[in-house]
Amino acid sequence: MAERRWGEKINLILWVLLDTLKRFFTENKLLKLIALAIAVFMWFSIPTQEERNRTLENVPLRVVNRHADTIVTNVPLKVVDVRVRGPWSLIADLDSDKIAVVIDATGLIPGNHVIWLGQANVNTPSSVEVLRIDPPNLPLNVEPKLTRTVPVRPQLNLDTLPPYRTVLESIVTPPTVVITGPASEVKAIEEVLTETIDLSMAGLKRTFPVRLLVPNQNTVATPANVQVTIRLDNRGEKRLTGLRLLPPDRAMGRITQTISVVLAGPQSVLDKIGPSDIIVKFDVVKLPRGEHEVAPSIELPKAYQSAIRITSIQPEKLAIRLR
C-alpha cells in the first residue's frame, strides 16, 4: 500500500515537470525568441577579450587657437608618444597617423603657459584609456597678434648681370604688403625681401613674379607674392671737362685749375648729364690758414645719384690758399 502511494507521488511530480517544460516551449514563443536574439547580440557585441597596453609612437601634435587676437609662437614638438589600455581588438587597429593629440589654446591669455596632456587631449574610442603621454606637458607661449604695412625690397643677383648691362630701375607691384604675426616679431620687421632674382635673361625690360621671404615662421605676408619689373640699360662711361668749381669762402684768389671727371652708369642716364649738372666742392672746414692740397668732391643731382658712379677725378687734388 505504501509503495503504491510513493509511485503515485513520483508520477505526479514527473507530470508537473513535463507540463512545465511543455508550457515553456509552447507559450509566449515570440517573447522568448526576442530574448534569445538580444542575448546572442550582447554576447557577440560586448568585447570579452583581455585588456592590454600599447604605446603609440609619433602621434601628431596639433595646437588649435580660435582666438583672432592672439597667436601661439612656439610649438616645441610635432609628435608625442601615447600609452593606451583597452580591448586588444580596438587598440591593435589604432594607428598613430589616424589619431592626434590636440591642445586647445583658444582661452589662453598672452604669456608663458605649461599645458598638461591627458585623456581629454586624445581622440581615442571611449573604451580605450590613455595611460600616459610622453612628454606629459608642453610649454606654450602666447603673444598678441599685430598687423602692419611694410615696404618690399627686391633682391637682385647682380653677379648674373651681363657685363655690358646695368640696372636702370626696379619697380615692385605692390610696393608694400601687410604682415601679420606675433607683436614682438612684427615690430622688428622694417621691410620684406623678395627671393633673389636672376638677371641673366632679363633683356632690357622684364617682369618677374616672385615670392616674399618673411623672416619669421609665425609671420605671414599678404599678398605672399609680388611682381618686380626690371629695366636694364647698356653700361656706359662719359668724361666731362670744364666743370664749374665752387671755391670755399676762405679761399684767397681765384682757382684757375680745371677738373674733369669720368662717370659710369646707364647710357640713357649719362646722355642726359652735362658739365652744368655737376658741382665741384672743397671741404676745408678743419684746415688752418695757408696753402693746402685739397681733394675735390663731386656733387651729382639727386635724380642721378642712385644710378651714376664716379670712377675718376682729375686732378685728384688742387692747390688752395686759405685765409
131 pLDDT above the threshold of 70 = yes
Max mean pLDDT among 12-26, 74-88, 166-180, 289-303 falls in 166-180
Q: What is the pLDDT of residues 257-286, one digit of tens each?
A: 778 899 998 998 899 999 888 888 888 778
Fold agreement (145-235, 241-322)? yes
User: For domain 241-322, which architecture applies?
Assistant: Beta Complex (2.170)
pLDDT at residue 99, as a whole number: 86
- Which helix or strand (DSSP H or E) is residue 29 part of? helix 29-45
- DSSP annotation of 94: -
Average pLDDT of the segment spanning 301-317: 88
pLDDT at residue 142, as a whole number: 94
pLDDT at residue 29, as a whole number: 61
119 pLDDT above the threshold of 70 = yes
Q: Where are the domains of the chain?
A: 51-135, 145-235, 241-322
**Residue 123, C-beta contacts closer than 8 angstroms, at least 6 positions apart:** 99, 100, 102
Q: How far apart are CA 113 and CA 129, in angstroms?
A: 26
Identify which of 261, 262, 259 has the alpha carbon closest to the alpha carbon of residue 242. Answer: 259
The rounded percent of the chain whose pLDDT value lies above 90 is 45
| DSSP symbols for 150-180 | EEEEEEEEGGGS-TTEEEEEEEEESSEEEEE
Angle at the Cα of 76 from the Cα atoms of 71 and 80, rounded to 5 degrees: 120
Q: How far apart are CA 142 and CA 65, in angstroms?
A: 10
Mean pLDDT of the chain: 85
Q: What is the pLDDT of residues 10-34, one digit of tens each?
A: 766 666 566 666 666 666 666 656 6
> Contact, 139 vs 178, CB < 8 A?
no
Residue 320's DSSP bridge partners are 292
Cell of 43: 554576447
The rounded percent of the chain whose pLDDT value lies above 70 is 83
| DSSP symbols for 224-275 | SEEEEEEEEEEEEEEEE-SPEE---TTB-S------EEEEEEEHHHHTT--G
The class level of CATH for 51-135 reads: mainly beta
**Amino acid letter, residue 224:** A
Q: What is the pLDDT of residues 31-75, one digit of tens each?
A: 656 666 666 666 555 555 578 899 999 999 999 999 889 999 988
Lowest mean pLDDT among 20-29, 38-47, 198-207, 208-217: 38-47
179 pLDDT above the threshold of 60 = yes
**Residue 214, C-beta contacts closer than 8 angstroms, at least 6 positions apart:** 179, 189, 192, 220, 221
pLDDT at residue 42, as a whole number: 61
Average pLDDT of the segment spanning 125-148: 92
Q: Which CATH number fits domain 145-235: 2.170.120.40, 3.90.1300.10, 1.10.1240.10, 1.10.260.40?
A: 2.170.120.40
